[in-house]
Amino acid sequence: MSHGATLTLAHSPDADDLVMWWPLTGMLAPDGAPLPGADGRPAVDCPGLRFETLAADIHTLNRRAIERHDLDVTAISAYTYPFVREHYRITRCAASFGDGYGPKLVVARDSPIMCGACVRGQRPRIAVPGDRTTAFLALSVLLGGPFEHVVMPFEAIAPAVAAGEVGAGLLIHEAQLTYAELGLRQVVDLGEWWKRETSLPLPLGLNVVRRDLDDRFGAGTLASVARALHASVAHARRHPEQCRGVLLARVGERPEWADASLVERYLGMYVNGMTEDMGDLGRTSLRRLLGDASARGLCPPPGPIDTI
């Protein structure tokens, strides 16, 4: 591996991604300054590697991976993988799975929609966080095919449902835990539904690395990057108080992060043992979900679940 490789690390601006990757970049405030009591240096040692982070919503990252595939390391939705597998490998770490929980379809509390069958019958316009997200795929499978939808930034969906701009909304990230505060009601939890159907966790987000890193930076780079990413996730899991500090520094952007119990619950859902290493269960879950999607004509064949 050549010395001094600088890699772009793209992620969603949600709590689990910020928590997983601060050990690679240092405990920094949104303006890039070190947090009080921190020196700003990375917490894990990655000889020869430097990571520059880029935060963007998952719809944007999915589209960029499909259309440009120029990011060295990036978060994508599990549904996106078959569209980009020629260019990317999946890292064993940093994936998110909903084991009996996951994205939620919600409506206004007084909506006549009570269940999935009601959605199929009444055909409301549904706000979704992206048309290559796993949430979108799972809802398409549940509803038996295409549905009327509009893509919105994930943080705008619950307010749009509450304001009556759409008939229903598909929630990901922290909104899965806070929707009731806006007077919304759950119709279906897609992770719960998938677990009931398959006895498997629902694969949601993946982390992927470009296959050509060894060609660009020297032999062994891909393996070194994978080790660094795993070390970052492992360090974050073992230092919850520092993780909390990183999120508290950003409360101005995301007020819900001031709620310690909400943050603890959310990170327990999406920064856990399967996040550190998805293992055989994660690969089996991916094969089942993407195999089913391909058989329905919803995505290309996923090929081997190629993890590093």
3-state class of 237 per DSSP?
helix
Predicted local distance difference test score (pLDDT) of residue 17: 94
Q: Characterize the bridge pairing of strands 126-128 and 168-171.
A: parallel
Which CATH architecture best describes the domain 104-198? 3-Layer(aba) Sandwich (3.40)
Contacts of 40 (CB under 8 A, 6+ apart): 26, 27, 28, 33, 34
pLDDT at residue number 4:
73
CATH class of the region 5-98+202-295 = alpha beta
Q: Is 173 a catalytic residue?
A: yes
d(CA 77, CA 302): 13
Question: In the chain, count of helices (H) and strands (E)?
Answer: 14, 11
pLDDT in tens, the chain (308 residues): 656 799 999 999 999 999 999 999 888 888 888 887 778 789 999 999 999 999 999 999 999 999 999 999 999 999 999 999 999 999 999 999 999 999 999 999 999 999 888 888 889 999 999 999 999 999 999 998 899 999 999 999 999 999 999 999 999 988 899 999 999 999 999 999 999 999 999 999 999 999 999 999 999 999 999 999 999 999 999 999 999 999 999 988 889 999 999 999 999 999 999 999 999 999 999 999 999 999 999 999 999 999 99
Closest CA to 306 of 83, 67, 76, 88: 88
Q: Where are the alpha helices (DSSP H) in 85-220?
A: 116-122, 134-143, 154-162, 175-178, 190-198, 213-217
pTM: 0.94
Residues of the chain with CATH 3.40.190.10: 5-98+202-295, 104-198
To 10 degrees, the CA torsion angle through 123, 128, 132, 135? -80
Catalytic residue selected from 11, 149, 173, 235: 173
Rounded CA gap, 256 and 263, in Å?
8
pLDDT score of 2: 55
Per DSSP bridges, beta strands 202-210 and 96-98 are antiparallel
Q: What DSSP string runs through 159-170?
A: HHHHTTSSSEEE
Residue 115: its pLDDT value, please? 85
The per-residue pLDDT for 166 is 97
